[in-house]
Amino acid sequence: MKYLCLVYTEEAKLAVLSDQEFEQLDADSLAYDNEMREAGHFVVAHALQSVDSATTLRVRKNKLSATDGPFAETKEQLCGFVLIAAKDLNEAIRVASKIPSARVGSVEVRPVRELAEHEPWDKRG
Amino acid sequence: MSEAGDTISQRVEEIYRTESRRVLATLIRLLGDFDLAEEALQNAFAAAVAAWPRDGVPQNPRAWLVSAGRFKAVDTLRRRARFNAVERELANSLENTAVDEAALPELEDDRLRLIFVCCHPALPPDAQIALTLREVCGLRTEEIARAFLTTAPTVAQRIVRAKSKIRDAKIPYEVPVLAELHERLEIVLHVIYLIFNEGYSASSGEGLTRSDLTLEAIRLARLLAALLPQPDSEATGLLALMLLQQSRQAARTSADGELVLLWCGRRWLRGTSARIPCRPRLRRFMPKRQTARRRIGARLRGSTIC
């Protein structure tokens, strides 16, 4: 089973990190990517540019509207993601809890819905 | 129906009362799906009502019911119109794994596993408690609603959402590994104590107390205490507290079922608390060094009623 770990942080908090702290966080993140890869949990991971660079799309009645900024104005923003493979939620939590950014922000663990295998969630059970 | 048939249906009823939650816990482990397990349980008892008058009550009814439930679930999975690859795989693997009837004592732990599933931190606290009371203790939704001072549909909704999350996020059916056990313990102890409280002062039913629930809570606390690699002061403290309370169970009500207040009657009844520890034994349950809230609770209650 795949789980997407969404990493949220307050960008204001990241901005006040010293260069050295920021580099350390990057280095730790890359090191943990390798650790997950060796353990067979790693699928893909990326950090994201600041929310200033975000565009939110909506298609309504076949018309596209593109607006500036993230989907919702919240205190914490999505700053990266890690897609992992784990046998169940407990294993996913074990792997995700060691994501270095969890120390400065939070990590939301979401099971991936496999479109080929499952039916739409709102029609099940 | 013949007299023998009547006796058998009474026996089935009695087995339903004492064994159905245990059978359900094992079926949930085997099937990995609460609703499928619930349906399999009902089908297994329906099969028992049909077969037992003819063949007699099997020596180990629980093993029989687990086995029948499993076969019924395979039937259900095969019959389903929306029969997808996942369900086909599950049906095949269920058919090929035999339930080892000799390993039945191990099935005891299934209820404990079920509690850890129901009390998973990924579920909201009110859902954890509602789900445990429903699935582990077999309380009806209305009874749970009364305990939460809310309506039955609200509780039902909470339970449905929790079950979907267990299935969709794939919360495993297991007692957590050692490293996580202590963090997870607090919620489980809380819920075991709630089960005990429901039995200590039942919110519904004819009697003031329900000793099936209080004894079940004590059994689960013992099992938990036995599973822990080193004594946990909260777990042993809770066990001590419940044992102490249970020791007064028979003395709390009069012959006609009315509540007897602590200062009005005898505090204990002789011969009714054979399994209840005396104070030195209680002390053994209480580790010395750590401070534990429940241990203090047991001490306080001990000093009030001893």
From A4, which residue of chain B is nearest by alpha-carbon distance? B169
User: What mean pLDDT value characterizes chain B?
Assistant: 77
CB contacts, 8 Å: B86 with chain A: 117-118
Asked if the model's pLDDT at residue B147 lies above 90, the reply is: no
| Chains A, B: CB pairs < 8 Å | 36
- What is the structure's pLDDT at B203? 65
The answer to which of A15-29, B84-98, B284-298 has the lowest mean pLDDT is B284-298
The phi, psi pair for B71, rounded to 5°, reads -65, -40
CA B284 to chain centre: 26
Confidence of residue B48 (pLDDT cuts 50, 70, 90): very high
- What is the structure's pLDDT at B213? 80
Residue A23 within any structural domain of the chain: yes
Burial of B212-227, coded b for 16+ CB within 10 Å and e otherwise, reads: ebbbbbbebbebbeee
B267 vs B18, which has greater pLDDT? B18
**pLDDT single digits (tens) A39-90:** 999 999 998 888 888 888 888 888 877 778 777 777 888 989 999 999 999 8
Residue A30 within any structural domain of the chain: yes
CB-CB neighbours of B305 under 10 Å: 14
CB-CB neighbours of B126 under 10 Å: 14
Q: Do A89 and B172 touch (CB under 8 A)?
A: yes
- What is the structure's pLDDT at A37? 95
Confidence of residue B137 (pLDDT cuts 50, 70, 90): confident
B299 vs A125, which has greater pLDDT? B299
Asked if the model's pLDDT at residue B112 lies above 90, the reply is: no
Cα-Cα end-to-end distance for chain B? 53
CB contacts, 8 Å: B171 with chain A: 88-90
From the list B86, B164, B172, the residue facing A125 with the nearest CB is: B164
pTM of the model: 0.71
**pLDDT single digits (tens) B150-175:** 899 999 999 999 998 998 888 888 87
Radius of gyration of chain A (CA): 17
- What is the structure's pLDDT at B253? 67
Asked whether B62 and B104 are in contact (CB, 8 A), the reply is yes
**pLDDT single digits (tens) B243-265:** 888 877 766 666 666 666 665 65
- What is the structure's pLDDT at A56? 80
Q: Do B84 and A117 touch (CB under 8 A)?
A: yes
Residue A119 within any structural domain of the chain: no
Residue A70 within any structural domain of the chain: yes
Which domain range does residue A40 map to?
2-111
Q: Which one of A1, A88, A89 would you mutate to disrupt binding with B, by most B Cβ within 10 Å of its Cβ?
A: A89
Residue A114 touches partner B, C-beta closer than 8 Å = no
CB contacts, 8 Å: A125 with chain B: 35, 163-164, 167
Residue A117 touches partner B, C-beta closer than 8 Å = yes
Percent of chain A with pLDDT over 70: 91
From the list B82, B84, B172, the residue facing A88 with the nearest CB is: B172
- What is the structure's pLDDT at A40? 95
Token pair for B298: 């047991």
CB contacts, 8 Å: B34 with chain A: none
Q: Do B172 and A90 touch (CB under 8 A)?
A: yes
User: Closest by alpha carbon to A88, among B84, B176, B159?
Assistant: B176
DSSP assignments along A68-116, one per residue: ES-SS--SSEEEEEEEEE-SSHHHHHHHHTT-GGGGTSEEEEEEPP-TT
CATH number, domain of A107, equals 3.30.70.1060
**pLDDT single digits (tens) A12-51:** 888 888 999 989 999 999 999 999 999 999 999 998 888 8
Token pair for B42: 């009902």
- Give the number of domains in chain A: 1
From the list A111, A117, A119, the residue facing B170 with the nearest CB is: A111
Residue A83 within any structural domain of the chain: yes
Q: Which residue bears the tokens 């090929």?
A: B96
B254 vs A6, which has greater pLDDT? A6
Asked if the model's pLDDT at residue B305 lies above 50, the reply is: no
Helix pair angle (B3-31, B34-55), 10° resolution: 150
Q: Give A 15-34 residues with CB within 8 A of chain B.
A: none
Residue A125 within any structural domain of the chain: no
Residue A125 touches partner B, C-beta closer than 8 Å = yes
Residue A102 within any structural domain of the chain: yes
Residue A123 within any structural domain of the chain: no
Q: Which one of A90, A95, A112, A118 would you mutate to disrupt binding with B, by most B Cβ within 10 Å of its Cβ?
A: A90
